Amino acid sequence: MSENRLDATFARLREEGTAAFVAYLAAGDPTLDATLDLVLALEAAGVDVIELGLPFSDPLADGIVNQLAAQRALESGTTTAGVLALVRRIRERSQIPLVLFTYLNPVYTYGFEAFHAEAAAAGADGVLLLDLPPDEAVANAELTGTHGLRQIRLIAPTTPPARMRDIGAGGEGFIYYVSREGVTGEQSSLATNIAENVAIIKSGSGVPVCVGFGISTPDQAAAVARTADGVVVGSAIVKTIAAHGQDPDLPHRVADFVRPLVAATKAARAGT
């Protein structure tokens, strides 16, 4: 596929005047086979982009829900090679954009160049390394071989406006704006400065801006979709998987949970 799937999807959604719905899954939770079924079910439910979490034993940016998901994935035997094999299996049945979401340690241990080469060949579209600052990536030659994978950057709400614009200017695929301080997890309310900070990022960036951390209800998804290019939901989905992980109907249960969130995201700009 000559055009990156992320770029193509966001271009299409821009033309349609709607926001993207991005779903996070911990690959291997409860098993890699189950993750394949979940990806297909989420795509059928209207999800636009999947973030596949590559499990790591010390997920410092994650709250307890995603920490436990990573632990379950590791206990089920999930490895970096296994996740790359999963990407290949997904590509046999789907062209949904895939972003590998993880930390630098497992990628660097695998081999930075080898990981990116194999991930691109398997069919991934982007990589989000939570603990790799953009400045470090630029300053180290061994961290530059990305084989066309979009390098997704995080921007925190504590980032000064000038740096928000600088990071946004070098963005690829999309910018992931973290809506609040702290770790991942559901929140009862949204931060009040999301629209303001999204506008600052977009003033210096030519790529879409997606907002995540804490979004768990249709109303929250709709509120974010009115100002951002995408809505990211992770912990709320992972929590649903944890509750029904042994249920043979797991993919349908997760799809049923996500469908109202997708609908709210898509309807937000139409005012319906």
Average pLDDT over residues 137-155: 82
pLDDT of residue 143: 74
- Cα 107 to Cα 99: distance, rounded to the nearest angstrom: 14
Q: Which residues are known catalytic residues?
A: 51, 62
Q: What percent of the chain has pLDDT over 90?
A: 78
d(CA 143, CA 98): 20
CA 168 → CA 32, 129, 132, 143, distances in Å?
A: 33, 16, 15, 19
How many angstroms separate the CA atoms of 224 and 268, rounded? 9
- Mean residue pLDDT across the chain: 91
Q: Which residues contact 210 (CB under 8 A, 6 or more apart)?
A: 20, 22, 174, 175, 176, 177, 228, 229, 230, 231, 232
One-letter amino acid for residue 249 of the chain: D
How many residues are listed for the chain in this entry?
272
| Weakest-pLDDT range from 83-97, 130-144, 169-183, 212-226 | 130-144
Task: Show Cβ contacts of residue 140 under 8 Å, excluding neighbours closer than 6 positions.
Answer: none
Maximum alpha-carbon separation in the chain: 49
Residue 90 has pLDDT above 60, yes or no: yes
Q: What is the pLDDT of residue 186?
A: 46
Q: Residue 272: its pLDDT value, please? A: 45
pLDDT at 267 over 70: yes
pLDDT band at residue 122, thresholds of 50, 70 and 90? very high
Could you tell me if 81 and 115 are in contact, meaning their C-beta atoms sit under 8 angstroms apart?
no
* DSSP conformation letters of 32-64: HHHHHHHHHHHHHTT--EEEEE---S--TT--H
Task: Tell me the per-residue pLDDT of 154-203, one tens digit each, with 9 for 90 and over.
Answer: 999 999 999 999 999 989 999 999 986 544 444 545 777 899 999 999 99
Summarised one tens digit per residue, pLDDT across range 9-54 is 999 999 999 999 999 999 999 999 999 999 999 999 999 999 999 9
More confident of the two residues 1 and 242: 242
pLDDT of residue 62: 82
Q: What is the CATH number of the domain that holds 244?
A: 3.20.20.70
Please report the pLDDT score of residue 180 as a whole number.
63
**Beta-carbon count within 10 A of 89 CB:** 16
- pLDDT for the residue numbered 136: 79
How many angstroms from the chain centroid is the CA of residue 44?
18
Residue found under tokens 């974010």: 224
User: How far is Cα 29 from Cα 92, in angstroms, rounded to an integer?
Assistant: 21
Q: What is the pLDDT of residue 118?
A: 97
Q: Confirm whether pTM is higher than 0.75.
A: yes
Q: Residue 30 sits in which domain range?
A: 5-270
What's the pLDDT at 139? 67
Q: How many domains, in total, are found in the chain?
A: 1
pLDDT at 189: 54
